[in-house]
Amino acid sequence: MTAENQIKWDLDLIKRYDLSGPRYTSYPTAIQFDPELSPRQLVQHGQETADKTAPLSLYMHIPFCTHVCYFCACNKVITRNKKRAQPYLEQLYIEMRKLSEWYSNDRIVNQLHWGGGTPSFINDDQMRELVGHIRSNFNLRDDDLGDYSIEIDPREADAGRMKVIRELGFNRVSLGVQDIKTEVQQAVNRVQPIALSEEIITSSRDLGFKSINIDLIYGLPHQTIDSFSATLEKIIELSPDRLSIFNYAHMPDRFRSQKHINAEDLPAPEDKLVILENTISQLISAGYVYIGMDHFAKPTDELAIAQQEGNLHRNFQGYTTHSDCDLVAMGVSAISQIGDVYYQNEHDLKLYQDAIDSSEQAIKRGVILSKDDRIRRAVITKLICHFELDCQQIEASFGIEFNDYFKDELLRMDQYIKDGLLVIDGPQIIVTPAGRLLIRRICMTFDAYIPKEQTGRTFSRII
C-alpha cells in the first residue's frame, strides 16, 4: 500500500483542525467518570451487562520505576528501593481474589498485559509469584495462543530476564526506546544505549516472542528533523513488528517531572509537523501499515490483519484485536471495562493501599453507559479503528434511524466533506487519506460530552 493510499499530508487542513481532543481509549472518556457512583453500583451493573461466557482481558499496573523520565505522564512511583514492590504485590493479590469472585466464571483469558511504571522493576521470583496468583484466580491459556504482553525497560532487563518472561507465558514485548540520540536521552534523564534494546530484541526473537513493539517519542528536547529521521532509520533496521510514535505534550503544570525540561530546547511546532510527516513517509516506505494515530504495524501483524478484516478494537491498552473481551484491570489507577461499565481505581498509591486493606477493592470513580453512550461508542470505535462506518450496521444493532438520530452531527460533517476529510457513499461514511491524521477531530463530532466549539486544553492536541 502506498503512502498516498494510507495518508495524504495536507498541512493547511492539519493546522485548521489541530485542536485538542480525546484519544478515545474509552467512550465516554475518563473525564465523565463519576466519583458519586458507588463501587457496588458499578460492579453490580457490570456483572449484569457482561457476557459471562466471553473471554477476558487482564491488566496489571506495576507503578514503580527506578529512574524518572522527565517526559513521562504515566502514573508511577520513583524509587530505588526494590523492597517496596512486595507489599504492593500482596495487595494486588487481595484485589485479584475479589475481582476473580466478581468476574472470572472460568472465562478464558485471551489477553494479558503488564504495564506501568516499569513491570521489569520486580524481580524474577516476584514475576513467577504474580503469574502464579493470576493462574490461581483466572483461567490463563497454556497453548501460547493468547496475547500476553509486558512492557520492558531495556535498562532493567537482559537475555536471562527475557527467558524467564517467555517461560511464564508472555509472547509479546514492548520496549520503551523514545530516541537514540545521546543529547536527547540526557535531556530527558533516560540514557539508554541502543545496544541494550538490540539485546532485548535479539533474545526475544531467539526465544520465540510473537511480536515486538517499540515506543518512540517525537518533540523531545534537542530533537531535530534529521536526528529523528536517523533514529527511525536505526529502529527500522531492528524491524519491530509494531511501532508507537507518540507526540510529546509539554505540560509542566500538570506533570511535575516535565519542569526539568527546558521549553527552549524543544523543536519548534513547524519542525514537529515535519518530523511527523517524515516519520509517516519513512515507515510506510519501509513496509509498515498506518493503523491509526500513533500506531504502525507490519502487514503480517495481527493489528494490521484485524484492521483489514474489520475486527480491530480500541480500549485503555490502545488498539487491540480483542473486541470480545471485558477488560479486568487491577492495581493503582487501573481502569476496567466490564459490560456497560467503566471504572477506575484510586490514583494515589497510599489511597489505593488503604482501600485494599479496608475493603479488598479500590474503585474510585466510574460511569454506567446509557443507550446513547453505547451507540456513540460504537460509531466512534468503528471510525477510529477502521476509518469507515456502515450506518446500516449501527441501525441494525441499536434499532435507530441513523440520519435522524445523528441529524445535527451529519450537518456539522458537511464541512469535513467539503474539506476532503470524508466522503459519504450511500450508507457508508469513509475517512479519506487526508482525514486519517485528523480522525480524533472527526470522532469528536459524535461526542455528546464535548461542546462543539471546544478548543481548550483538557486533552492533548490531535497532532
pLDDT of residue 38 exceeding 70, the answer is: yes
Do 136 and 273 lie in one domain? The reply is yes
What percent of the chain is modeled with pLDDT above 70?
A: 96
Question: According to the model, what pLDDT value does residue 33 have?
Answer: 96
Question: According to the model, what pLDDT value does residue 456 have?
Answer: 45
Residue 79 in any domain: the answer is yes
Residue 363 in any domain: the answer is no
Got the DSSP string for 336-356? EEETTEEEEE-SSHHHHHHHH
Domain finish residue from 330, 353, 384: 330
Residue 272 domain boundaries: 29-330
Do 158 and 275 lie in one domain? The reply is yes
Q: What is the mean pLDDT of the chain?
A: 93
8 Å CB contact between 63 and 326: no
Residue 252 in any domain: the answer is yes
Do 393 and 406 lie in one domain? The reply is yes
Q: Number of folded domains in the chain?
A: 2
Residue 249 in any domain: the answer is yes
Residue whose C-alpha is closest to residue 171's, from 241, 68, 80, 82 = 241
Reading the block at residue 237, the C-alpha cell is 533496521
Q: How far apart are CA 14 and CA 377, in angstroms?
A: 25
Phi-psi region of 450 (alpha: psi -120 to 50; beta: other; left: phi over 0): beta
Collect all residues with Cβ–Cβ distance below 8 Å to 200 and sequence separation of at least 6: 152, 154, 157, 158, 162, 173, 175
Residue 2 in any domain: the answer is yes
Question: According to the model, what pLDDT value does residue 324 have?
Answer: 83
Quickly list H helices, 141-291.
Answer: 159-167, 182-187, 194-206, 225-238, 269-285
pLDDT band at 234; cut points 50, 70, 90: very high
Question: According to the model, what pLDDT value does residue 316 have?
Answer: 83
CATH code where residue 10 lies: 1.10.10.920
Measured in residues, the chain has a length of 463
pLDDT of residue 130 exceeding 60, the answer is: yes
Residue 303 in any domain: the answer is yes
Question: According to the model, what pLDDT value does residue 34 have?
Answer: 96
CATH code where residue 55 lies: 3.80.30.20
Do 280 and 399 lie in one domain? The reply is no
pLDDT band at 6; cut points 50, 70, 90: confident
Domain finish residue from 277, 304, 330: 330
Do 174 and 162 lie in one domain? The reply is yes
Residue 346 in any domain: the answer is no
pLDDT band at 317; cut points 50, 70, 90: confident
Q: Which amino acid is at 72?
A: C
Residue 335 in any domain: the answer is no
Do 157 and 117 lie in one domain? The reply is yes
Domain finish residue from 330, 346, 380: 330
